[in-house]
Structure 1
Amino acid sequence: MDSPHPATAFKILTAEQWAQFDADGVFRGAPVDLADGYIHLSAADQLQGTLDKHFAGQQDLVIAEVDLSVLGEAIRWEVSRGNALFPHCYADLPMGAVLKLERR
């Protein structure tokens, strides 16, 4: 059975967060993630809205495309901004789940 959700999602990281992720091989979360108890991700059609709302004016961002199948049951699609379902990761994000990077 096909999933109604996309196979990938995106995590926006500051350059400092990316450097730590790259060094550790795992991302445990940004301060907002740690406070909320899960790692915030965005689907492709939500990415620009997340950038505009939470990262406006910031430079040196790294956008990691994440293979959600690697994360399995740790991913939950939950209602968030604008009543849309967003992917939330209830586990550490391993480097092996990152498919590609974009720097902005």
Structure 2
Amino acid sequence: MRTIYKICPASNWREAERQGVYRGSADDARDGFIHFSTAAQVAGTVRKHYAGQIGLFLIAVDADALGDALRWEPSRGDDLFPHLYGELDLGAVTAVLELRSRSDGGHDIPELQS
């Protein structure tokens, strides 16, 4: 199983749990896909897009369960990032982890699986 990660405000994730599906953030809707990161990309994504934010979850997802709707496309630094063209079925979620914020605006990244 390959694991990919979605960074998400806790309130948005709790709403997805109530609805039974995650449709993405406003940025995801604007771009036409749900943004994910690999384990190696999470720290950079958190620094670039979530610095200073509190109440974040890191959603671990089984990439293989997403089928053809998951595409690997070049983004920051020409790295290939996982993009989901469609809704995230919560059945593909393997863990919901808290991203603890620090006083310097950064976050403590838990140990992640690739």
Aligned residues: 99
> Which runs of structure 2 are paired with 1:15-30 in the superposition (5 Å)?
15-30=10-25
TM-superposed CA distance for 1:93, in Å, is: 0.2
Partner of 2:111: none
Supply the distance in 2 between the matched residues of 1:28 and 1:34 (Cα, whole angstroms): 8
Partner of 1:54: 49
Q: Secondary structure at the match of 2:8?
A: strand
Q: Give every structure 1 segment of 4 or more consecutive aligned residues whose post-TM-superposition deviation is greater than 6 Å.
A: none
Return the match for 1:91 from 74, 80, 86. Answer: 86
TM-score by length of 2: 0.84
Return the match for 1:71 from 58, 61, 66. Answer: 66
Gaps of 5+ in 2: 100-114
TM-score by length of 1: 0.92
Q: Is 1:39 equivalent to 2:39 in the alignment?
A: no
The structure whose residues are more often helix, as a share, is 1
Q: Is 1:14 equivalent to 2:12 in the alignment?
A: no
For residue 95 of structure 1, what is the amino acid of its counterpart? L
Deviations 1:23-60 (A, max 9, x none): 11110110000000000000000000000000001111
Partner of 2:109: none
Q: Secondary structure at the match of 1:59?
A: coil
For residue 43 of structure 2, what is the amino acid of its counterpart? Q
Deviations 1:59-97 (A, max 9, x none): 110100000111110110000011100000001001101
Q: Secondary structure at the match of 1:44?
A: coil
Partner of 1:100: 95
Root-mean-square deviation (CA, aligned residues, Å) is 1.0
Identity of aligned residues (%): 45
